[in-house]
Copies of this chain bind each other. A is one copy, B any other.
Amino acid sequence: MGKIGVWLIGARGSVATTAVAGAAAMRAGLAARTGCVTELPDFAGAELPGLGDLVFGGHDVVDTPLVKRAEQLAAAGVLPATLPGPVTAELEAAEARLRPAPAGGGRTAADQIVADLREFGEGLDHVVVVNVSSTEPPCAPHPAQESLAALEAHLDVLPASSLYAYAAFRAGCAFVDFTPSTGARLPALDELARTAGLPYAGRDGKTGETLLRSVLAPMFAQRGLNVLSWSGTNLLGGGDGATLADPGAASSKNASKQQVLEQNLGHAVDGEVHIDYVPALGDWKTAWDHVLFEGFLGARMTLQLTWQGCDSALAAPLVLDLARLTGKACRDGVAGPVAEFGFFFKDPAGDGPHDLASQYAALREWANR
């Protein structure tokens, strides 16, 4: 089988750089496959595209070279200090396939993206576009988002993430949204994906607080314990921390965090979610959750969690997993949202279970069928 192109929107960001460098390190035998779901024994028979089948390219608005970005990440402790050196060639190869993100929006930008994707796709079996750029504010609704026909005359109503999804489908590529942005989640784009026979998945990678919520909330439900409140505070440095400290950008993320609780508990739950920008944390994030619950005869009890993780290290292997799985979906001719990829997302596209255990089972079954 042939190559799978992985086109990263935000290709010079920490997550993308870590994914590209990490894939190279694993291929070279310099790093274990820790954190890669598709490397688990459960997926050994799934005939997924191999790490060696992935070819990286992408768009970004900044132009710091990938090699430089990798050195910065190594200095910050995100990548091993010894890593960037041995994978310089692979980073430079990806660098040569990066293109500047088109300025502006609408039809002109879309055409440019389509052209870039088509050029990239030459000689590749399939291309998966993965959005790992900064989180957008929620997009304003517009009637033209409701159908493909209407949309074609109003591409300017699309936020950037959705313009990329549009262009991806027009260029015959699959689309994965790892951010909480709108991406492909508009009726007109869903119509386009189905019409074009292309899969998409998203949104908002589940790498910390929400991951924990998707295993702990089912536990409370299955034990008949009544969750009275679930509060969370997230401290983030790095680019996404700065973006999400803006209440507008944070609102869609927070909504999906509380939604996971509601879906798993069967009722809305009191409690707020805060995202604070703490620059000194760099690429590290800390989440504290406080759960107040009621047990037998009304006894009040609590659970507290503190999760301290490296954002890029948590996200990057999932980007590789999604690239490989979506590559398989392309090969299999899947069209529309792949609900079975809900395991990876806070706010999954398509209808699927909300607890992590069922999501894992659905993913495993999908991959091995």
A295 lies within 8 A of chain B by Cβ: yes
Q: Which parts of A39-96 form the interface with B (CB within 8 Å)?
A: 39-40, 75, 77-81, 83
Q: Which of A6-14, A170-178, A298-306 contacts B (4 or more CB under 8 A)?
A: A298-306
Residues from chain B with Cβ under 8 Å of A274 in the complex: 233, 272, 274
A-B contact pairs, 27 of them (CB 8 A): A18-B296, A21-B297, A25-B297, A32-B298, A34-B294, A35-B224, A35-B297, A37-B223, A39-B224, A75-B81, A215-B357, A222-B356, A229-B280, A231-B233, A271-B276, A280-B292, A286-B290, A288-B288, A295-B309, A295-B310, A301-B308, A301-B309, A301-B313, A303-B307, A303-B308, A306-B306, A357-B357
Establish whether residues A36 and B302, one from each chain, have CB atoms under 8 Å apart when the complex forms: no
Give me the 9 closest cross-chain CB pairs, A-B, nearest first. A357-B357, A299-B313, A35-B296, A228-B280, A301-B309, A233-B233, A35-B295, A304-B306, A296-B313
Residues from chain B with Cβ under 8 Å of A28 in the complex: none
Residues from chain B with Cβ under 8 Å of A340 in the complex: none
Chain A contact surface mostly: mixed
Establish whether residues A305 and B308, one from each chain, have CB atoms under 8 Å apart when the complex forms: no
Residue positions of A touching B, CB distance < 8 A: 18, 21-22, 25, 31-37, 39-40, 75, 77-81, 83, 211-212, 215-216, 218-219, 221-226, 228-229, 231, 233, 235, 270-272, 274, 276, 278-281, 286, 288, 290, 292, 294-310, 313-314, 316-317, 343, 355-358, 360
Residues from chain B with Cβ under 8 Å of A218 in the complex: 215, 357
A293: min CB distance to chain B, Å: 9
Contacts A36-B224, A218-B357 known; list 7 others, CB within 8 Å. Answer: A77-B77, A229-B280, A235-B290, A270-B279, A272-B274, A286-B290, A357-B357
Residues from chain B with Cβ under 8 Å of A294 in the complex: 34
Residues from chain B with Cβ under 8 Å of A229 in the complex: 235, 278-281
Establish whether residues A224 and B33, one from each chain, have CB atoms under 8 Å apart when the complex forms: yes
Establish whether residues A317 and B295, one from each chain, have CB atoms under 8 Å apart when the complex forms: yes
Establish whether residues B296 and A36, one from each chain, have CB atoms under 8 Å apart when the complex forms: yes
Q: Which residue of B lies closest to A272 (CB)?
A: B276
A212: min CB distance to chain B, Å: 7
Q: Which residue of B lies closest to A79 (CB)?
A: B297
Establish whether residues A308 and B297, one from each chain, have CB atoms under 8 Å apart when the complex forms: no
Give Cα distance in the complex from A304 to B343, angstroms.
23
User: Which of A22, A211, A305 has the most CB atoms of chain B within a 10 A radius of its CB?
Assistant: A305
Residue of B39, B219, B297 touching A313 (CB-CB under 8 A) = B297
A254: min CB distance to chain B, Å: 13
Given contacts A75-B81, A218-B215, A309-B301, contact A295 B225 (CB under 8 A): no
Establish whether residues B34 and A288, one from each chain, have CB atoms under 8 Å apart when the complex forms: no
Q: Which residue of B lies closest to A279 (CB)?
A: B270
Give Cα distance in the complex from A75 to B272, angstroms.
27
Residues from chain B with Cβ under 8 Å of A75 in the complex: 81
A210: min CB distance to chain B, Å: 12
Residues from chain B with Cβ under 8 Å of A300 in the complex: 280
